[in-house]
Chains A and B, each alone.
Chain A
Amino acid sequence: MTLDHADELVAAPSSPGAARPARRETWWRVLRRDRFAFTGLLVVVGYVVVALTAPLFLGWLGVDPYTYHLDALDENGAPAGWGGGISAEHWFGVEPLTGRDLFAIVVMGSRASLAVGLGATAVAVLVGATLGVLAGYAGGWVDVLVSRIVDVLLGFPALVFMIALGAIIPLRFPHSPRILILVLVIGLFGWTSIARVVRAQSLTLRSLGFVRASRGLGAGSGHIVLRHVLPNLAATVVVFATISVPGAIGSEAALSFLGVGVQPPTPSWGRSIGDAVTWFSSDPMYLVFPGLALFGITLAFNAFGDGLRDALDPRAVRR
């Protein structure tokens, strides 16, 4: 090892424990100052709380998304009254044809959205980070193989495949829960960008002084990956996961919108929007409420993700 690399050995965060508290405080402060991102975080937390407590919350209010209220409809099956049947009893009005409470449907719909959004992202991060580290750290044919798969998948008509798979997997496994199928299908199509970024960073990390020093001291690959590579990838992975969630939520909604996602009677915003297509000239509110809910969570996640990237990624330009 030449002398030029000596400062690298000293300056590199070879013992992350010492540097950590200060760094955590810094990114939290940066995020806290970014009003747009912080609002996004608060909204995301709000949605998660609503999703977790939805049955309790709705039970306390005395509404549910399954009971038919045919008395709230007119003779055409459209909601009776102003704004899609908005009343003290039905805050967002009712669903056309069934008269089910739209507020309850929207609140319960957050569960499918967040479950698939977070679940699929978890699958994507797990697969992407594992393959990315493997490719970047091991190199050689592993790298070539993973990179090829990523190249192929990146330009893929994923939605076309997801439509076909979302329709056909339930034929093979009729009793598997639809949410789980969606999590797997969306997750397994979404890991490529994470893998690419993680691969590039592992490649850089592998040649850095502190990793080379560790190897020189006799550390095995497993130890280096777990103790040195992964901790230094954590920020990137967290940022990427956050940025990926709105995409996964959007995929669930798109598939449900097209009729191959979450099946009735489980509430889903995408499916409600899809159902609203035939109604929205007479009952636009049926489109607006689920649409706003979906738009809100996506915007909040995007804002939070952007802010988190600015706060955690030292290379990103601070606003």
Chain B
Amino acid sequence: MNARHVLRFLTTRVATVVLVLAVVSFLTYAVFVLLPANPAAAACGKPCTPERLATAQAFMGLDKGPLQQWWDFVVGIFTGRTFGTGAAAIHCPAPCLGYSFQLREPVTTLIAARFPVTASIAIGAAILWLVIGVFAGTVAAVRRGTALDRGLMVAAVTGVSAPSYLVGLLGILLFGFTLDMVPVSGYVPFATSPVDWAWHLVLPWCVLALLSAAIYARLTRAQMIEALGSDYARTARAKGLPERRVVTRHALRNVTIPIITLFGLDLGVLLGGAVITEKVFSMPGMGALLLDAVSTTDLPLVVGITVFSAALIVVANLVVDLVYGVLDPRVRA
């Protein structure tokens, strides 16, 4: 692989990302802006005279056409925006994802305050689910046909079928209330106390991870069985390598590739799962912010969070693609 190939690979991928983000933000904007729930009407107060409504709309930039509104939004991400003029003007510094007139805060600030919670849940759970899934799948494949294999696979089907919030609540009931081992709700920032941070996240991580791990265990098992029966595995055995080394060095590396592909597709699921987990464990993350914004019809906040999550997934997918390129020499050609 030479530098020109890398550059071309990167340029195409980044161009796709930018295109996807533009389309996603436009669609989000179109769906939400074309709705009759007018944020200006909510901010206008009572009695709401037509003049006051018009002033509020102009202040929020809602008097322009839909395309112009979207463009203002996109430009605001890079340059910041100012709503209104004169003494009453509100400045929303770049990267501006909109302004919540109900909470009187830029959407970016609101998201930044909540995002560490969601990221803590999602990243910890993702690591745990990949480790457990690949490990369980490998064990089942190596011990194929034994009671251990059957037990793991029955557990996997059960895991796939159980909704995460249900398992989460039962987990709280058992480990939180009955055994009094872990905290049942809340979040402690990492900076305050790393130990308390992890202690509060143990149960959410396990709940979110175990359910998705089930799918990965099944995939790993199937792939591993195929890999262990392949010619290169036989060659490795023939040259006298112990089975353990054949599994870890030769088979596992090939199994990683479909796992990473699936993981890239599951990033959205991971984020959705984090939203549900936040609700179960009463954690003040981005999902909780979204649910609040939805119940108060805070449209700029809803749009901002939606576009931000889409961007997050698209960028994370780009990272997964790059990792993929490192792992699998064939895609680099």
Contacts and interface: CB of A to CB of B under 8 A. Distances in A.
Interface of A: 152, 154-161, 163-165, 167-168, 171-172, 246, 250, 253-254, 257-260, 270, 273-274, 276-277, 280-281, 284, 287, 291, 294-295, 298-299, 302-303, 306
Given A157-B306, A167-B295, A167-B302, 7 more contacts: A164-B28, A168-B31, A171-B35, A171-B37, A254-B276, A291-B169, A294-B166
A319 B312 CA distance: 40
A156 B270 CA distance: 10
B11 to A, nearest CB: 17
Nearest to A149: B23
Contacts of A155: 264-265, 267-268, 313-314, 317
A159 B172 CA distance: 24
A273 B287 CA distance: 18
A260 B295 CA distance: 9
Interface string B150-179: 000000011011110110011011000100
B97 to A, nearest CB: 14
Nearest to B278: A258
Contacts of B169: 273, 276-277, 280, 287, 291
Contacts of B35: 168, 171-172
B271 A159 contact: yes
A223 B241 CA distance: 57
A156 B310 contact: yes
B177 A298 contact: no
Nearest to A291: B166
B275 A160 contact: yes
A257 B279 contact: yes
Contacts of A160: 271-272, 275, 287, 290, 305-306, 309-310
Contacts of A291: 163, 166, 169-170
B297 interface: yes
B186 to A, nearest CB: 14
Nearest to A249: B163
A274 B168 CA distance: 12
A299 B161 contact: yes
Q: Is the interface of B mostly helix, strand, loop or mixed?
A: helix
B161 to A, nearest CB: 4
B291 interface: yes
B94 interface: no
A156 to B, nearest CB: 5
Task: Report, nearest first, the 7 A-B pairs whose CB atoms are least far apart.
Answer: A159-B272, A167-B294, A299-B161, A298-B161, A157-B309, A157-B268, A291-B166
Contacts of B165: 254, 257, 273-274
B272 A158 contact: yes
Given A273-B169, A295-B162, A302-B161, A163 B313 contact: no
Contacts of A303: 157
Interface of B: 20, 23-24, 28, 31-32, 35-37, 157-158, 160-163, 165-166, 169-170, 172-173, 177, 264-265, 267-269, 271-273, 275-276, 279-280, 287, 290-291, 294-295, 297, 299, 302, 305-306, 309-310, 312-314, 317
Contacts of A274: 165, 279
A262 to B, nearest CB: 15
A253 B162 CA distance: 11
Contacts of B297: 167-168, 171
Contacts of A246: 161
A287 B32 CA distance: 35
Contacts of A158: 268, 272
A298 B163 contact: yes
Nearest to A302: B161
A262 B165 CA distance: 17
A3 B35 CA distance: 62
Contacts of B32: 164, 168
A270 B164 CA distance: 12
Contacts of A276: 169
Contacts of A167: 294-295, 297, 302
Contacts of B172: 280
Contacts of A159: 268-269, 271-273, 275-276
Contacts of B161: 246, 295, 298-299, 302
B302 A168 contact: yes
A194 B313 CA distance: 21
Contacts of A281: 173, 177
Nearest to B266: A155
Given A159-B271, A161-B306, A168-B32, A295 B290 contact: no
Given A152-B20, A152-B23, A163 B157 contact: no
A171 B169 CA distance: 31
Nearest to B23: A152
Contacts of B312: 157
B313 to A, nearest CB: 5
A154 B264 CA distance: 9
A294 B275 contact: no
A171 B166 CA distance: 30
B294 A164 contact: yes
Nearest to B166: A291
A306 B222 CA distance: 14
B37 to A, nearest CB: 5
Nearest to B172: A280
18 contacts: A152-B24, A156-B268, A157-B306, A160-B306, A161-B306, A163-B294, A168-B299, A168-B302, A171-B297, A172-B35, A254-B163, A254-B165, A257-B163, A270-B163, A273-B169, A287-B169, A295-B161, A302-B161
